[in-house]
Amino acid sequence: MACHRSTLLVAAKADAGSKMVTAVQEMGEEMTAWRVSMTGRCRAAARVAWCAGALAAGQATAGGLIAYEVGTADVGLASAGYGARAQDASTVFTNPAGMTRLEGTQVLAGGQALWGNTRFSASSGTSPGLGSDNGGYVVGSDGWFPGGGGFASYSVSPGLKLGFAVTGNFGAPLKYDNSWVGRYYVQEATLLGISLLPSIAYKVNDKLSLGASVNALYGIYTNQVAINNPAPRFGDGRLKLDDNTWGWGLNLGLLYEVDPGTRVGLTWNSQVDLDFAAPAKFSNLAPGLASLLASRGALNAELKVGIKVPQQAMASVFTEVNDRWALLGSIGWQQWSKFGQLQIGIDDTMNPLSLTKDLKFKDTWHLALGAQHRLSEPWLLNFGVAYDSAMQSGDVSPLLPVNSAWRFAVGGEQQLSKNAAWGIAAEYLYGGTLDTSLQGSAPVLVGGRGDVAGAYHNTGTIFVAVYHNWKF
């Protein structure tokens, strides 16, 4: 699918080459007019959108760590028609080519809250020396986490659009109780990404539009694990890594309108490298362990964590059945096999050989189907269902308690006036039961991590989003 889409993009760009050059030459002249014509109301709306995006951050979702939920109408569609809907300013993010369908200047600000039912339950296979603390709700703060985004599109001319988006749809904030049974594998793990996306779209002809965005991704990384001191009187030690860095990527989009009521969207997002590097920060180590780590060059070692936000490809469709019903669908692929997450810690404090261990993942597929129903002139009903395949084979890591999942969503949107609309959307993501089985190389009583076995039962996440779209 990705190869076929790439061929379409290259061919389309070749046909549009000379027109795009002319359009770009006109851009500088048009930008002056843009700055003059921007009204106070538009600036205020843009500030609202920026604030919404600045508060956004990623959240773990089953099928991977890239969320489709960023506080927009797509929450109520379970992402069906993600790259083809192009009905408001959020298309700057989902498919920049869709901006050619928007009139004038449009700004959308969206916020959302999620609550994740992700709790571990230890089984009899867990080493008795690890205690009985199951870790609590591990996502965000007792299961709660905010999100959202801000999106803006501006018409330079009928066929040339500029846009900007700020949102966070990558990563996960996890925090277990400090004394939970898996503390020697992970206590806290935060991986978040906030994207700034300047965008451009050009309408080649009445049917074909092309778009592109630069993805400036600011990554935040924290990983903390307890260390099993061989001398129990010292209690647990701790190892912590934290770093922030920038990564850069490119998003490309194509929108083809088969007829006035049917359109197809193709999108490709490049891989983004987040090259985190931080010194190993140890605390509360028993003197003997500290000396042993120092003799092996590990006490002040710099650890490199090369996270690769995977490239992804998606094909989407939107078609109007009649004046009240429309059907939407999407199919996508994400390359999680190159993700590169690390598990840190010490397997055996009597013989510490390494501070890191690579975790393996596999690529995922996404399928979504949805519909829109015009209830009345001001009200539009959205609903959808989606499935994401698993990124982990068999047992899951406590660092990433996510895998395959189903999404079920519903939402409503009201047209307040010719230039304003608002909407509300809700989604339930069901991840099922996720088993975990970790085998330590040494028993807990002699400084090892021990064995951790159990499951995250009936995992699920509830999303609730509210958004507002302005036209100028």
pLDDT tens digits, one per residue of 437-459: 999 888 998 888 999 999 999 99
Three-state DSSP state, 17 = helix
Bridge partner list, 222: 190, 242
User: Residue written as tokens 């010194």?
Assistant: 279
d(CA 45, CA 25): 29
Structural contact between residues 231 and 286, judged by C-beta atoms closer than 8 angstroms? yes
Separation CA 207–CA 22 (nearest Å): 19
Nearest one of 463, 461, 467, 465 to 62, comparing CA atoms: 461
Provide the CB-side half-sphere exposure for 159 (13 A, CA): 16
Distance, CA of 60 to CA of 172 (rounded, Å): 5
Judge whether 139 and 173 are in contact, CB under 8 Å: yes
Predicted confidence band of residue 36 (pLDDT cuts 50, 70, 90): very low
- Does residue 45 carry a pLDDT above 80? no
Give the model's confidence band at 245: pLDDT under 50 very low, under 70 low, under 90 confident, else very high: very high
Tokens for 188, please give them: 């806290």
Residue 79 contacts residue 181 (beta carbons within 8 Å): no
> Is 3.30.590.10 the CATH number for 2-471?
no
Contact 363, 393 (CB under 8 A): no
Q: pLDDT class for 211, splitting at 50, 70, 90?
A: very high
Instruction: Give the residue carrying structure tokens 């002249």.
Output: 29
Q: Is it the case that residue 26 has pLDDT exceeding 50?
A: no
Name the 3-class secondary structure at 147: strand
φ/ψ of residue 29, rounded to 5: -65, -40
Question: Of 283-287, 296-300, 349-353, 458-462, which has the strongest mean pLDDT?
Answer: 458-462
Please report the pLDDT score of residue 374 as a whole number: 97
> What pLDDT is recorded for position 342?
72
Does residue 37 surpass a pLDDT of 90?
Answer: no
Query: Which of 23-37, 204-218, 358-372 is the least confident region?
Result: 23-37
Residue-averaged pLDDT of the chain? 87
Percent of the chain exceeding pLDDT 70 equals 86
Q: Is pLDDT larger for residue 140 or for residue 13? A: 140
pTM of the predicted structure, to 2 decimals = 0.85
What span, in angstroms and rounded, lies between the C-alpha atoms of 182 and 175?
12
Q: How far is CA 436 from CA 174, 320, 439, in A?
A: 16, 45, 10
Q: Write down the pLDDT at residue 25.
A: 45
Q: Is the pLDDT of residue 30 over 50?
A: no
